[in-house]
Structure 1
Amino acid sequence: MKQSVGAKTMAMPTPVWLVGTYDADNKPNIMTIAWGGICCSTPPCVTVSLRKATHSYAAIEARKAFTVSIPSQAQVAAADFAGIVSGRDIDKFAACNWTPVKSELVDAPYVSEAPLVIECRLLHTLEIGLHTQFVGEIVDIKADESVIGDKGYPDITKVQPFVWDSCHRRYFGLGAYLGTAWEIGKTITAKES
């Protein structure tokens, strides 16, 4: 029997992403978020949801662009730090020993040391409640050569992203390979109704 735990933000897992922006003074900033994901395949898009009180919120609205740097498990402490402090007060790139790289395609910086980067042009803004959802059209994805896999795409086992458990405020690496999509499901025998 299932037990009700109430209406809470408990989707599992949630990604750990670093949203890159330039503020009004042209200073590069990053913000760690967990409210984000892929939202459309054509055009390819991601969403990130931020509170209006954040330093990055106004930057996305003003520049109509953002990046998503996907950190590796080795970068968990720095990624956590980037979500604890505000870019209004601290240069997070310097504090985390990360290098800001100006995107050539959108008006936003990304983290050079992150193995995978998504460059986005702001497509839509949706006021939801405490958070505003920004839909970014993916203009390009950049990956370190060291994380490129067999088919010329980033390999998740090389990127080593991590996820956040919002229930207990913990980070986890990804688990073992379970099967190939659109293949493992063929092991189920469908019964006619």
Structure 2
Amino acid sequence: MKVSIGSKTMALPTPAWLVGTYDAEGKPNLMTAAWGGICCSKPVCVTVSLQKPRHSYAAIMERKAYTINVASAKDVAKVDYCGIVSGKNADKFAACGFTAVASELVDAPYVAECPLVLECKVIRVEDLGMHTMFVGEVMDVKVDEAAMKDGKPDPLLIDPIVYAPEDRHYYGLGANLGLGFSIGKELK
């Protein structure tokens, strides 16, 4: 039997992404965001939703660009820090020991130490209420060679962090459960 718990942000899991931007002074900044995901295959697009008071909100509105940086589980404390501290008051790249790399494709920095990076150009902005959703066309995906297997990004080598909003905990990935569009064929 299921128990109703009401309307909540319970799509599990959510990402724990580091969103890279340049602020009004051109300083690289990071913000941890869990409200985001893939929204289109062609053109390839992802969304990230931020509240207007966030330092990164103004940066994205001004520059029309952001990066999505997928950190490994070993950097979970750094990811959490980037969600606690405002870029108005701190240099998050320096505090985390991260290296800011200027994207050649969009007006935003990315994190050299993150094994997976998406460089995004904003193509749509939707005010949804408490959050504004930024739809970013993915101009390029960069993957560390060490996180590749058979020429493709390997989720277990990337070791991404996921977030559960209701209990406010970070989690890692579990085991490989099987090949998509394949294991279900046994039910035919």
Distance in 1, matches of 2:132 and 2:187, equals 40
TM-score by length of 1: 0.96
Equivalent position SS for 1:5:
coil
* Residue aligning to 1:155: 154
1:110 to 2:110 alignment: yes
Amino acid paired to 2:49: S
List aligned pairs for 1:48-127, cutoff 5 A: 48-127=48-127
- 1:87 and 1:161 map into 2 onto residues whose CA distance is 23
What is the deviation of 1:136?
0.1
Residue 153 of structure 2 aligns to a residue in which SS?
Answer: coil
Question: How far apart, in 2, do the equivalents of 1:162 and 1:177 lie?
Answer: 16
After TM superposition, give the deviation of residue 10 of structure 1 in Å. 1.1
Q: Distance in 2 between matches of 1:55 and 1:161?
A: 24
Deviation of the 1:157 alpha carbon: 1.0
Q: Summarize deviations over 1:161-192 as a string: whole Å, max 9, x none.
A: 02101111101110111110010110113xxx
Identity, in percent, stands at 59
**Counterpart residue number, 1:177:** 176
Q: Which runs of 5+ in 2 are unaligned?
A: none
Per-residue deviation, residues 94-145 of structure 1 (Å, max 9, x unmatched): 0111011100110000111001100000010011010000000000000111
Q: Which runs of 5+ in 1 are unaligned?
A: none
Give the letter for the 2:30 counterpart: I
Shift of 1:153: 1.9
Q: Deviation of residue 14 (structure 1)? A: 0.4
Distance 2:107 2:148 in 1: 26
How many angstroms apart in 2 are the aligned matches of 1:109 and 1:162? 20
**1:134 and 2:134 matched:** yes
- How far did residue 16 of structure 1 move? 0.7
- Give the superposition deviation at 1:148: 1.2
State the aligned residue count. 188
Q: Distance in 1 between matches of 2:130 and 2:102?
A: 30
Distance 1:95 1:162 in 2: 19
- Moved >6 Å (runs of 4+): none
Residues of 1 paired with 2:49 and 2:24: CA distance? 20
Question: RMSD of aligned C-alpha atoms?
Answer: 0.6
Amino acid at match of 1:149: K
